[in-house]
Amino acid sequence: MSNSNYLFDNAASEARQRFGALSALFDPTTFRHIEALNIGQGCRCWEVGAGGPTVSNWLAERVGASGRVLATDINTSWVSEHLDHTVEVLQHDVTQDDPPAGQFDLVHARLVLSHLPARGKALRRMVASLRPGGWLLVEDFDKVIPVRCIDAYLPEHHRANKLHAGVYALLAQRGADLEYARRLPRIFRDAGLTQVGADAYLPVAIPAGNVLSVANITQVRDALIEQQLATQDEIDAHVAAIADATITVGTPPLISAWGQRA
Ligand SMILES: C[S@@+](CC[C@H](N)C(=O)[O-])C[C@H]1O[C@@H](n2cnc3c(N)ncnc32)[C@H](O)[C@@H]1O
């Protein structure tokens, strides 16, 4: 059983909004990378910290009946909703549990490892699960740009940036590494991977960013207030500014890094 300290616990009702928003924001980027790695018919894939079902479903269609897709998470309640019947689901803590059986052509984790204090151990397990020639693809936020509204021309944008700075502080308290993603190429080389590469995608102001902002801030509202990182009024005003379309909030850049097991 996991003793995870993960801030955005999937048990909260906001998880539904979060996974819908993450899918809308980042699935096209994820799919582009997986296509570029030539993952196709017959491939075996491990989706780590799956969250919702969209990436696993897309993989299942891509690898077909001769392939395999395994979706793991510490809380599998959301990935199991509307999931393709061919996808295997396993409750699994990537920092503690034995790696799943089998060797994989692709191991993918999006927005998972930066949250985990034992991320180094998790990454070693993921690399060990690759077949020779298999690909690791890790995607995570990097606070290279430490604000959600990069053109902050209204007080509402500054308030959004302040509230998200509060969320970053809560994440750091839980052992998240907010600059993990920029180090991935170095980490991949140190892990013995070859053909290492990385790029980034930055949503500046699109509607799913608003959904993600409201879901995340609402879920940790009590902690923000208790720690005096925000007031109830600021949170309410932020949610209202998004609801009446006064502002559109971005996300940090998503860095995607890939490397191949020799
Ligand atoms: C921010 S969500 C990202 C979900 C999905 N990968 C995406 O990008 O839409 C992080 C996910 O990692 C899962 N998670 C957190 N700690 C984990 C662990 N130790 N092992 C496996 N999954 C974990 C969470 O339950 C959650 O579903």
* 82 domain residue, yes or no: yes
Residue 8 lies in a domain: no
Show the ligand 1 pocket: residues with CB < 6 angstroms. 4, 6, 8, 10, 19, 22, 49-52, 73-75, 93-95, 110-112, 115-116
- Whole-angstrom Cα distance, residue 62 to residue 40? 5
| CA atoms 121, 14, 107, 26: torsion sign | negative
pLDDT-based confidence at residue 1 (cuts at 50, 70, 90): very low
Substitution candidate for ligand 1 out of 73, 94, 110, 140 with most atoms within 8 A of CB: 73
Residue 177 Cα, ligand 1 centroid: separation in angstroms? 15
pLDDT in tens, 216-253: 999 999 999 999 999 999 999 999 999 999 999 999 99
Pairing mode, if any, of strands 254-260 and 88-91? Answer: unpaired
Shortest-distance Cα residue to atom 18 of ligand 1: 93
pLDDT value at position 120? 97
Positive or negative: CA dihedral 140, 38, 196, 261: positive
Query: Does 7 fall in a domain?
Result: no
Determine, yes or no, domain membership for 9: no
The amino acid sitting at 85 is H
- The total number of structural domains that make up the chain: 1
CATH number, residue 168? 3.40.50.150
Query: What is the residue range of 175's domain?
Result: 14-260
For ligand 1, the distance from its centroid to the CA atom of residue 117, given in whole angstroms, is: 13
Look at residue 3 in the predicted model and tell me its pLDDT.
56
pTM of the predicted structure, to 2 decimals? 0.97
- Residues 171-221 have pLDDT tens digits of 999 999 999 999 999 999 999 999 999 999 999 999 999 999 999 999 999
Going from the Cα of 122 to the center of ligand 1, the distance in angstroms, rounded, reads 12
145 pLDDT band (50/70/90 cuts)? confident
